[in-house]
Structure 1
């Protein structure tokens, strides 16, 4: 059986943390689908629009050799995404492990036979940190630049 993996993310300001997630994910599946969150979903989830628009983020992720296909996430329920993509394993950063969101994700996917696999979160680089650094270089605050959390 071909093992399909799914690695969701914003993939905004593509950086080494994104590459690390895709590299680790690729090693654990036969086919890797990267889920790229829509601009609207990012705004709902994080309270800010991405720096890089969806069409460009899709193009970047689509051309990473580790990725076999991309899927645009337009709603927050990963089980609905699973119904469309039919992956066998979901990959997340280990910053989700042991959280209420991570625990719910594990329960929901256990019910449909999908494994949730965590990989080390790249602490020293995140899109949020890059946003703050860019704001400092520009000499002003970007809307949402102080919002925490990585992508």
Structure 2
């Protein structure tokens, strides 16, 4: 009997929108157990140079309630290799807006060296947290 495939879908999940939902739905269809890593406020600030709109505890509760997510956890690491060391997932899911970036190359190198697959999903271009932030600032 083969072991269940554990998938990991990290993200800020700030201002949760349909793009987030689609990534989680698709990720769940490609693994047996889906863990969603919700970036802490400090990680969001470090990675995006912006404070999240929605506080960490609320983002974690929102993601925990999504039916595609088997478990939602705090992700206190920008470096997903450190998260892998903690929870041992088999495949990492990201939006393809990450593909080709310096951080993605570094992540791919570390994770592939320990046998973790990386799956990129098409970026939902018509909606993103950045786009929502822009729309909200224009409408104020």
Q: TM-score, normalised by structure 2?
A: 0.95
- Answer whether contact 2:7 2:90 (CA < 8 A) is retained: yes
Q: CA deviation at 1:47?
A: 1.3
Q: Please state whether the residue corresponding to 2:52 is helix, strand or coil.
A: coil
Aligned residue pairs: how many?
138
Match of 1:110 in 2: 112
How far does the alpha carbon of each residue in 1:60-97 deviate from its partner, in whole angstroms, 9 at most, with x for none?
00000000001111121111100111100000111122
Q: Please state whether the residue corresponding to 1:79 is helix, strand or coil.
A: helix
TM alignment of 1:1-150, pairs within 5 A: 1-138=3-140
> 2:41 and 2:103 mapped to 1: Cα distance?
21
Gaps of 5+ in 2: none
Gaps of 5+ in 1: 139-151
Structure 1 window deviating more from structure 2 (43-52 vs 4-13): it is: 43-52
Q: TM-score, normalised by structure 1?
A: 0.88
- Runs of 4+ aligned residues of structure 1 deviating over 3 Å after TM superposition are none
Q: Please state whether the residue corresponding to 2:110 is helix, strand or coil.
A: helix
> 2:113 and 2:86 mapped to 1: Cα distance?
17
Calculate the aligned-residue CA RMSD, in Å.
Answer: 0.9
> 2:88 and 2:120 mapped to 1: Cα distance?
19
> 1:102 and 1:51 mapped to 2: Cα distance?
25
Q: CA deviation at 1:129?
A: 0.6
Structure 1 window deviating more from structure 2 (126-135 vs 95-104): it is: 95-104
